[in-house]
Structure 1
Amino acid sequence: MTTLGLVDAEQRNMVASFPAFDPEQDDLMAFRRDLVEGTTALLNSRSIQYEEQLVPGTDDAPDVRIILFHPPKSKRTTSAILYVHGGGMIAGTPDMQAGTLGRLASETGTMIVSVDYRLAPEAPFPGGLEDVYAALIWLHDCAEEMGIDPDRIMVMGDSGGGCLASATALLARDRGKVKLHAQVLIYPMLDLRTGGANAPSDDPTTGEFVWTRAQNQHAWSAVRGKLAADDPRFGYLSPAFMPDLSGLPATFIITGALDLFRDEDITFAHRLWKAAVPTELIVYANAVHAFDLLPSALGERVRHDVLEAVRRLL
């Protein structure tokens, strides 16, 4: 079936022409270039200034590149957001979202640290996750010298970055070195079964555009590598499988009614409520994956909602 007629009218033409990636015949490197170039242009990211540095990786892992967005000097920084970019954990860079992150830092008076984590398949699980966690440890340990309250650090991510943000919150809870203040998950990629034969649900009105079933299964296979289903770390790979979600920080989740991740995101929110985690969930009608990137009234609405949620949580 085609679901184009269900897509927000302002976004319909843009969605129909959005670059697609067919794992069976397209080149991953070309997809990576197209994603970065397209997102950079959409978000006007080249015009944004940021600071760049390397922080130590965990154990024997390589150093991790981060980019920092400082709020205006007139606004006193007391909180920070650790941001994890999207791309299905197989593509993307933090720089491509500089437009969004620079504006978010300015509008919230919050320092934002975005992580250039290693991608799969070159670095399967737990490579990318450990990079994000290493950046969190650095941010927490250096918080006071940067004027940040170490108890007011939020983790935030979109799509595949939403998976890593969620997994980082779980890792922080279980390792006990950092107590996160909140997590914001933008249409997060949480369940590796989605798009496959064993998916818990499969609504044909979801997943036709931007991020498809084939892309999702390809990405999860690349990220998973050889990790066995009975490995105790499996819930950090795919947070939908984490048996216990208690003790997580206050959570804000958004997703789209036409997004492939809709059902797994709703299910995750239900599980957070059952685990007594303060959680807000918004599902936007007529919205495909990454709908917030596209110029439209719907895009402005979700950007406003996310901004207000960040302000409220911090």
Structure 2
Amino acid sequence: MIAPEEMMVPSIHGGPDIPVFLYRPAMANPRGGAILHIHGGGMVMGSVKQMQSGPAALAAAAGVPVASVEYRLAPECPFPAPQEDCHSALAWLAGQADTLGFDASRIILAGESAGGGLAAALAIMARDLGGPAIAGQVLTYPMLDHRTGGGDCPYQNPTTGEFIWTRASNRFGWRALQGDYQIDDDRCGWFSPSLAKDLSKLPPAYIATGSLDLFFDENLDYARRLVAAGVPVDLHSYAGAIHAFNAIPDAALSQRFNGGVLAAAAAMAGPAGG
């Protein structure tokens, strides 16, 4: 496994410096891009060190540098702290193209669960703030909609959310993240991407989810809305799969799922034209 370099990145939003772990493949292609990876954990737990097999695998598969951001966690640091940390890490990565030897026009985002939700939010945030430019987003069972599992949940699917990440878990994670966010906040898409009124001019998305995952319905709905807004989407649904099932790497379904995610990231961040 590729060993990371740890560095501290300055915040562009007035916050503290942000730890970023950089994974460099042995033979990076200078015509390729780079990947900003955002780990999962329901907005309230997790770390790069705990989940470093993910960014290491991305770097090896895509042959490009991968920066994994150690964003601040809720409830100690609620919205918009995690989003601002991710945006600062993206800005830093974009500025390292010459130093690290990659094509700055081919930076993509990748994240799983809460990290997938933050990646989707970051794509909206970067568009709204005028950059940095993002070439693609790889969203693995992303946590997108704060309403899921609550009284105002728009999805009524009794077969999802029974394992690993439940409705109660989801309510806890979103309440912890909320901070000073209010329903009339103009930054609604930065908080809960499913609330974004405008999904146009976002980068192409690869979305992978399981049919028994609590996030299944919100993932499908988000994919449909992206398509309606003119955004290219490659959606993959895995029958019988629960949340984070691919943590059992030797299972045949996990291998197919993980292989698809890595192939999508390699295609998006790899050299233009293959």
Specify if TM > 0.5.
yes
**2:194 equivalent to 1:240:** yes
**2:262 equivalent to 1:302:** no
Letter matched to residue 98 of structure 1? Q
Letter matched to residue 131 of structure 1? D
Secondary structure of 2:104 counterpart:
coil
Corresponding residue for residue 110 of structure 2: 156
Runs of 4+ in 1 over 4 A off after TM superposition: none
CA deviations on 1:6-46 (whole Å, 9 max, x unpaired) are: xxxxxxxxxxxxxxxxxxxxxxxxxxxxxxxxxxxxxxxxx
CA-atom RMSD in angstroms: 1.1
Letter matched to residue 302 of structure 1? F
* Number of matched pairs: 267
Letter matched to residue 234 of structure 1? C
CA deviations on 1:94-151 (whole Å, 9 max, x unpaired) are: 1122123212211210110000000000000000000000000000112122111110
Letter matched to residue 99 of structure 1? S
Corresponding residue for residue 207 of structure 1: 161
Query: Where does the alignment leave 5 or more consecutive residues of structure 1 unmatched?
Result: 1-46
Corresponding residue for residue 217 of structure 2: 263
Corresponding residue for residue 17 of structure 1: none
**2:119 equivalent to 1:192:** no
Take 2:58 and 2:116, find their aligned partners in 1: how far apart are those partners? 17
Corresponding residue for residue 76 of structure 1: 29
Letter matched to residue 261 of structure 2? V
CA shift at 1:48, angstroms? 4.8
Q: Percent identity?
A: 46
Secondary structure of 1:92 counterpart:
coil
User: Superposition pairs for residues 218-233 of structure 1, below 5 Å?
Assistant: 218-233=172-187
CA shift at 1:277, angstroms? 0.3
CA deviations on 1:228-264 (whole Å, 9 max, x unpaired) are: 1001112210000000000000110011000000000
Corresponding residue for residue 18 of structure 1: none
Native 8 Å contact 2:142 2:219 kept in 1 = yes
**2:268 equivalent to 1:313:** yes
Take 1:102 and 1:179, find their aligned partners in 2: how far apart are those partners? 23
Native 8 Å contact 1:48 1:98 kept in 2 = no
Corresponding residue for residue 272 of structure 2: none
CA shift at 1:309, angstroms? 1.2
Take 2:154 and 2:34, find their aligned partners in 1: how far apart are those partners? 36
CA deviations on 1:64-95 (whole Å, 9 max, x unpaired) are: 0000110113x424311000000011000011
Normalising to structure 1: TM-score of the pair? 0.83
Corresponding residue for residue 95 of structure 1: 49
Normalising to structure 2: TM-score of the pair? 0.95
Native 8 Å contact 1:84 1:157 kept in 2 = yes
Aligned partner of 2:7 among 36, 44, 53? 53
Between structure 1 and structure 2, the one with the greater Rg is 1
